Structure 1
Amino acid sequence: MRVITPDLLVAAVTELSRGTKLVRLKDVLAWCEWNGVDAQGDGLKNQALWDAERAEAQTHRRLLKFKSGECKQSRLGWALVPHGAKARELATELRWCEQLWNGVDWVWLGGIAPVPERRPNRVRDVEQAPASP
């Protein structure tokens, strides 16, 4: 099985961006599985994918990166640079922000990470709902 490279990551985003200009991590992982590409590598979870992403950002800069917050459970996606305007529009609707590679680390465009909305507590909503007649 091939391990993901910067070129394969761009190929995945290119193919998947025919449907939407902002391609989500889960879709890239599915693309990797479908095409026999190892996103895991030998390191931590998806380490090969993160290495490919960083290498892409350090060299070609063909991809834009968007994220929903700072935590590991945040949603993540990429877009091709030519699709930047549409991808930024979609990211704004999702309340995701763009990240840029500064040569050392990923930084938030504008300097501030988005604050994810808290989902309503279903138990509390059920308790507060009016009783049925």
Structure 2
Amino acid sequence: MRVITPDLLVAAVTELSRGSKLVRLKDVQAWCEWNGVDAQGDGLRNQALWEAERAEAQGQRRLLKFKSGECKQSRLGWALIPHGTKARELATDLRWCEQAWNGMDWEWVGGVAPVPERRPNRTRTEEQAPASP
């Protein structure tokens, strides 16, 4: 099985961007599985994918990166640079922000990370509360 490279990451985003200009991580992972590409590698979860993403950002810079928040469980996506305007609109609708590679790390474009939207707390009524023994 081939391990994902920057070129394969761009190929995945290119193919998937025919449907939506903002391509989500889960769709790239499915593309990798469908095409026999290893996104995992030998390291941690999706380590090869993160290395390919970083190498692409340090090299030709054909992709834009968007993220939903600061935590590791944040939603993530990419777009081709020519699709930047439409991808930024879609990202704004999702409350995602753009990140850019500064040569050492990913930083938020505009300097501020988005605040992940929290689900509202549901308060139970007495009728919904479990019966006490």
Asked if these proteins are the same fold (TM beyond 0.5), I'd say: yes
Partner of 1:110: 110
Distance in 1 between the 2:14 and 2:125 partners? 47
Q: After superposition, where does 1:1-133 map in structure 2 within 5 Å?
A: 1-122=1-122, 124=123, 126-127=124-125
Structure 1 residue 121: Cα displacement: 2.5
Distance in 1 between the 2:66 and 2:54 partners? 14
Distance in 2 between the 1:48 and 1:88 partners? 26
Distance in 2 between the 1:29 and 1:127 partners? 41
Structure 2 spans left out of the alignment, 5+ residues: 128-133
- Percent identity among equivalent residues? 85
Q: TM-score, normalised by structure 1?
A: 0.93
More helix by share: 1
Structure 1 spans left out of the alignment, 5+ residues: none
Q: TM-score, normalised by structure 2?
A: 0.93
Residues 3 and 121 from structure 1, CA distance in 2 versus in 1: closer, same or farther, beyond 3 angstroms?
same
Aligned residue-pair number: 127
Distance in 2 between the 1:128 and 1:113 partners? 39
- RMSD across aligned positions (CA): 1.3
Structure 2 SS opposite 1:65: strand
Structure 1 residue 15: Cα displacement: 0.3
| 1:37-87 Cα shifts (integer Å, max 9, x gaps) | 000000000000000000000000000000000101100000000000000
Runs of 4+ with deviation above 3 angstroms: none
Structure 1 residue 127: Cα displacement: 2.6
Structure 2 SS opposite 1:127: coil
